């Protein structure tokens, strides 16, 4: 029976951090080069070589932070190669991603200029795997110190008088794998050492984030929590990708059966159990939840588009991707007491991108529109919910068809984001409120005829946001008819 019920409970004691809605930009494929940072000859509006149509699109959805320079790339990146006159910067090989030549034309100054244009907070991931403590310490001094020192002198010589005051600092990335193949105990010791010398300069305190577990590696989380003093770590990360099939053959981004769609959504919803379990371990050592769980890589990872460089991770983005984004963000909102930061991988032209570019052309993906719809939750007061969903069934497997989250903003408006994963059946949802009072409801919806629908350069607006008229007040209750395969965000005032 396709009815669902939802209860919106009184306000919690915490907000949904806007930093849950963060993004990731690695030196990988065409994310930085030919994505954000383009050839001077390209006929688009630019500041220096930063592409401004991309900046404007991301500003519109208020991206709160941007992680850089990796990913795996971060643990082979030597920041001093990316400062000073561009023509003198050494070239290097990007061993992780396609073995291409990295010319270092996009470095610290260019990234921080990009963040200023985006009005977003930088999240810099520093090299632990192949770098030194001194290298990391000097980078922090370079971007954050306002006094007299060798690194602040160098920064000034390179044209930036004042420090940028970066606060988010990642100490290594995937240190269990591409970031050095370390054991958790060894990494935890390394973290303590590196973090000691990543100094908090006056007016520029750091929020240091330890490289965390992959997927179900609870031992990594346990060891880091046990061995790293709470005061030394603002956050501990977690990486989880939704892979439709297997690592060897991940599945197509655009052509999949309903069975494959079901499996993909089941794997996406596993994020709930992952954050619940990693959080439970963190609770043992940190019952007051001082350390944030930072899911700084998530999203769907499919095969690359046929004919593209396998090392560039270029994939199309369908309505299925949007349903993954909507569901995952609902999960994060519902765990926002512990999950206080997250970054989707990756912003432009890589993995579950918000934006795809092709020379002068650019398009917004279905995933972009989810971040547009959900921006109402940024820093809003979290409203706990109780949800009863019908099952979406495939063979003898079931997942909940509906997921949701709710918040109240500073003006008192309530926002409810709802996802119906069932691709062929609408669902009638009845919502009651334990406390909140409201008079009117308006809404927006993102859906399309098929879960495989995509935006292309020829048809860039196939999947887009529309006004939603399927929600009504009935007595004190809210009744909603959720279309199949849809994301609906409602505003109640």
Interaction site with ligand AHR (CB under 6 A): 26, 70-72, 173-174, 297, 345-346, 351
Closer to ligand AHR at the Cβ: 293 or 404? 293
Question: How many whole angstroms separate alpha carbon 205 and alpha carbon 201?
Answer: 6
Reply yes or no on whether 113 is catalytic: no
CA distances from 340 to 61, 126, 329 (A): 18, 20, 12
Residue position matching structure tokens 């977690």 = 238
Least Å distance, CB 24 to ligand AHR, is 7
Which structure tokens are listed for 184? 């958790």
466 carries an active-site annotation? no
Give the active site residue among 297, 360, 458, 466. 297
Q: What is d(CA 163, CA 155) in angstroms, rounded to the nearest whole number?
A: 8
Burial (CB < 10 A; 0-12, 13-18, 19+), residue 396, is exposed
Strand partners, 9: none
Residue 249 burial class via C-beta count within 10 angstroms: exposed 0-12, middle 13-18, buried 19 and up: exposed
Shortest Å distance, C-beta 174 to ligand AHR = 5
Question: Which one, of 344, 337, 399, lies nearest residue 374 by Cα?
Answer: 344
Length of the chain: 493
| Tokens representing residue 11 in the block | 């306000």
Q: Which of 174, 260, 434, 466 is catalytic?
A: 174
Shortest separation between residue 96's beta carbon and ligand AHR, angstroms: 7
Comparing every residue's Cβ against ligand AHR, the nearest one is 71
Q: 176 or 368: whose CB is closer to ligand AHR? A: 176
Per DSSP (E only), the strands in 301-412 are: 339-345, 355-358, 361-364, 381-383, 385-388, 391-394, 397-400, 402-408
Pick the closer one to ligand AHR by CB: 167 or 352: 352
Q: Are strands 235-242 and 292-300 parallel, antiparallel or unpaired?
A: parallel
- Taking the complex as a whole, how short is the minimal distance between the CB of residue 75 and ligand AHR, in angstroms? 9
Both tokens assigned to 383: 């409203």
* Consecutive H or E run containing 22: strand 22-24
Nearer to ligand AHR, 37 or 298 (CB): 298
Q: Residue 46 phi/psi, 5° resolution?
A: -140, 155
Give the nearer residue to ligand AHR in terms of CB position, either 351 or 429.
351
Q: How far is the CB of 484 from ligand AHR (least distance, A)?
A: 31
Q: Give the Cα separation of 443 and 214 in Å (integer).
A: 36
Minimum distance of ligand AHR from residue 104's CB (angstroms): 18
> Cβ closer to ligand AHR: 71 or 251?
71
Give the active site residues.
Answer: 174, 297
């Amino acid at each position: 029976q396709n009815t669902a019920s939802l209860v919106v409970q009184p306000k919690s004691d915490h907000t949904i951090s806007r930093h849950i809605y963060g993004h990731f930009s690695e030196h990988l494929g065409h994310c930085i080069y030919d994505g954000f940072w383009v050839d001077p000859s390209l006929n688009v509006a630019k500041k220096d070589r930063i592409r401004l149509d991309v900046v404007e699109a991301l500003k519109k959805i208020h991206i709160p932070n941007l992680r850089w320079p990796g990913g795996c790339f971060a643990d082979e990146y030597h920041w001093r190669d990316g400062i000073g006159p561009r023509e003198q910067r050494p070239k290097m090989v990007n061993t992780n991603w396609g073995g291409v030549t990295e010319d270092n034309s996009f470095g610290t100054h260019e990234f921080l200029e990009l963040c200023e244009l985006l009005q977003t907070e930088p999240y810099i991931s520093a090299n632990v795997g192949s770098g030194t403590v001194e290298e990391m310490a000097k980078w922090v001094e370079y971007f954050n110190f306002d006094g007299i020192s060798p690194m602040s002198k160098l920064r000034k010589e390179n044209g930036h008088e004042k420090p940028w005051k970066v606060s988010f600092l990642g100490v290594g990335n995937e240190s269990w794998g591409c970031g050095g193949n370390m054991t958790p105990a060894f990494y935890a010791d390394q973290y303590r050492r590196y973090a000691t010398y990543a100094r908090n300069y006056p007016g520029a305190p750091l929020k240091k984030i330890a490289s965390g577990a992959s997927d179900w590696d609870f031992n990594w989380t346990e060891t880091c929590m046990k061995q790293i003093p709470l005061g030394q770590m603002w956050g501990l990360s977690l990486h989880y990708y939704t892979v439709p099939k297997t690592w060897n053959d991940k599945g197509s981004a655009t052509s999949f059966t309903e069975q494959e769609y079901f499996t993909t959504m089941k794997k996406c919803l596993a994020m709930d159990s992952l954050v619940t379990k990693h959080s439970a371990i963190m609770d043992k050592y940190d019952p007051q939840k001082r350390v944030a769980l930072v899911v700084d890589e998530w999203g769907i990872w499919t095969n690359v588009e046929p004919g593209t460089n396998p090392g560039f991770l270029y994939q199309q983005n369908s309505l299925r991707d949007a349903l993954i984004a909507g569901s995952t963000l609902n999960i994060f909102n519902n765990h926002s007491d512990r999950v206080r930061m997250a970054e989707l991988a990756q912003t432009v032209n890589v993995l579950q991108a918000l934006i795809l570019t092709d020379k002068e052309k650019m398009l917004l993906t279905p995933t972009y529109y989810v971040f547009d719809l959900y921006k109402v939750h940024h820093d809003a007061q979290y409203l706990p919910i109780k949800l009863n969903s019908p099952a979406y069934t495939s063979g003898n497997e079931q997942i909940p068809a509906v997921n949701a989250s709710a918040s109240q903003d500073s003006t008192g408006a309530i926002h409810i984001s709802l996802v119906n994963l069932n691709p062929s059946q609408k669902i009638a949802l009845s919502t009651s409120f334990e406390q909140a009072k409201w008079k009117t409801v308006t809404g927006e919806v993102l859906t399309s005829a098929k879960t495989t629908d995509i935006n292309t350069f020829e048809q860039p607006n196939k999947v887009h946001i529309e006004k939603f008229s399927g929600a009504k007040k009935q007595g004190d209750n809210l009744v909603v008819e959720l279309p199949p395969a849809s994301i609906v965000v409602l505003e109640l005032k």
